[in-house]
Amino acid sequence: MPTEKKVKNNTDKKEVKEKSPVVFSKKDYSLILKEPRITEKATMLSENGAYTFNVPKDTTKNEIKKAIFSIYKVSPEKVRVVTIKAKNIIFRGKKGTKKGGKKAYVYLKKGDKIDFV
């Protein structure tokens, strides 16, 4: 929401409202990377320099690269993005759905590591 300033004009004696521009700070990259995906497949990939993260559905590869660099101080070599479809399930006789999402595979150079601890 822009802040407003009241400025008096000496010639017209009227109050004029000027809108000051809103300047946003650096993008909050912690919202892009929701959490790391800790699965059996993900731990096997992490030994070879590939890490998986849950990300929001509307993020792009460039945003993910910038978020990895700003949070973990490691530049990724490449990023692959996979969309996860929602699935219908039956649990204890009741129907439901597993929500879908998006996950990102982040590949790093040899020797680079990301510590989640």
Read off the pLDDT of residues 6-56 as tens digits, 9 standing for 90 and up.
Answer: 555 555 555 555 554 433 345 678 888 889 999 999 999 999 999 999 999
pTM for this prediction: 0.69
Count of positions (residues) in the chain: 117
- CB crowding 70-87: b at 16 or more within 10 Å, else e: eebeeebeebeeeeeeee
Return d(Cα 59, Cα 45) in angstroms, integer: 22
Give the pLDDT of residue 24: 35
Q: Describe the strand order of the beta sheet including 101-107 as a list of residue ranges.
A: 35-36, 50-55, 101-107, 78-84
- Fold (topology level) of 27-107: Alpha-Beta Plaits (3.30.70)
pLDDT value of residue 81? 97
Whether residue 81 contacts residue 102, with contact meaning beta carbons closer than 8 Å, is answered with yes
How is the chain split into domains, by residue range?
Answer: 27-107
